[in-house]
Amino acid sequence: MEQIKNPVIEQLHARKSVRVFEDRPIEAAEKRAILEAAIQAPSAGNMNLYTILDITDAALQQRLSETCDNQPFIATAKLCLVFCADYQRWYDLFCEHMPEVRKPAEGDLLLAQADTYIAAQNAVVAAESLGIGSCYIGDITENFEEHQRLLKLPKYVVPTCMLVFGYPTEQQQRRVKPPRFSVEDVVHENGYDAEKCARMGKMLQERQNLPVEAEFHGWVERFCNRKWNCEFSEEMSRSCRAIIDSWCK
Ligand SMILES: Cc1cc2nc3c(=O)[nH]c(=O)nc-3n(C[C@H](O)[C@H](O)[C@H](O)COP(=O)(O)O)c2cc1C
pLDDT digits (tens, 9 = 90+) for 133-147: 999 999 999 999 999
- Ligand 1, atom 3: nearest CA belongs to which residue? 138
Domains of the chain: 7-175 (3.40.109.10)
Work out the average pLDDT over 153-180. Answer: 97
Entry field: residues in the chain: 249
With b for 16 or more beta-carbon neighbours within 10 A and e for fewer, the 183-192 pattern comes to: eeeeeeeeee
Helix 231-248 and helix 106-129: axis angle, to 10°? 130
Predicted local confidence at residue 64, as pLDDT = 98
Task: Using the atom order of ligand 1, give the atom closest to the CA of residue 19.
Answer: 11
Is the CB–ligand 1 distance for residue 222 below 6 Å?
Answer: no
Confidence of residue 168 (pLDDT cuts 50, 70, 90): very high
Distance 101 CA to ligand 1 centre (A): 38
Task: Using the atom order of ligand 1, give the atom closest to the CA of residue 18.
Answer: 26
Residue type, 198: A
- Ligand 1, atom 30: nearest CA belongs to which residue? 136
Q: What angle do CA 25, 137, 174 make, to 5 degrees?
A: 60
Residue 35 confidence (pLDDT) above 80: yes
Distance 44 CA to ligand 1 centre (A): 25
Q: What share of the chain is helix, strand, coil (3-state, %, to 5)?
A: 55, 10, 35
Task: Using the atom order of ligand 1, give the atom closest to the CA of residue 161.
Answer: 1
Is the CB–ligand 1 distance for residue 33 below 6 Å?
Answer: no
Residue 11 confidence (pLDDT) above 80: yes
Q: Which of 68, 117, 134, 135 is the best mutation target for the ligand 1 pocket, counting ligand atoms within 8 Å of the beta carbon and taking the most?
A: 135
Predicted local confidence at residue 88, as pLDDT = 97
Is the CB–ligand 1 distance for residue 89 below 6 Å?
Answer: no
Give yes or no for a contact between 142 and 69, defined as CB atoms under 8 angstroms apart.
Answer: yes
End-to-end CA distance of the chain: 54
Kindly report the average pLDDT of the chain as a whole number: 97
Computed on alpha carbons and rounded to an integer, the radius of gyration of the chain in Å comes to: 20
Confidence of residue 114 (pLDDT cuts 50, 70, 90): very high
Task: Using the atom order of ligand 1, give the atom closest to the CA of residue 117.
Answer: 1
Name all contacts of 55-61 with Cβ < 8 Å and 24+ positions apart: 55/80, 55/81, 55/82, 60/150
Give yes or no for a contact between 67 and 142, defined as CB atoms under 8 angstroms apart.
Answer: yes
Instruction: Please report the DSSP string for 13-78 in residue order.
Output: HH-----SB-S-PPPHHHHHHHHHHHHTS--GGG---EEEEE---HHHHHHHHHHTTS-GGGGG-S
Distance 135 CA to ligand 1 centre (A): 6
Q: What angle do CA 163, 168, 134 make, to 5 degrees?
A: 15
CA distance 135 to 71: 12
Residue 249 confidence (pLDDT) above 80: no
* pLDDT tens column, 199-215: 999 999 999 999 999 99
Task: Using the atom order of ligand 1, give the atom closest to the CA of residue 16.
Answer: 26
Work out the average pLDDT over 16-43. Answer: 98
Distance 19 CA to ligand 1 centre (A): 10
* pLDDT tens column, 51-99: 999 999 999 999 999 999 999 999 999 999 999 999 999 999 999 999 9
Predicted local confidence at residue 166, as pLDDT = 98
Confidence of residue 248 (pLDDT cuts 50, 70, 90): confident
Is the CB–ligand 1 distance for residue 137 below 6 Å?
Answer: yes
Residue 116 confidence (pLDDT) above 80: yes
Residue 38 confidence (pLDDT) above 80: yes
- Ligand 1, atom 19: nearest CA belongs to which residue? 17
Instruction: Give how far the C-alpha of residue 158 lies from the chain's centroid of Cα atoms, to the nearest Å.
Output: 13
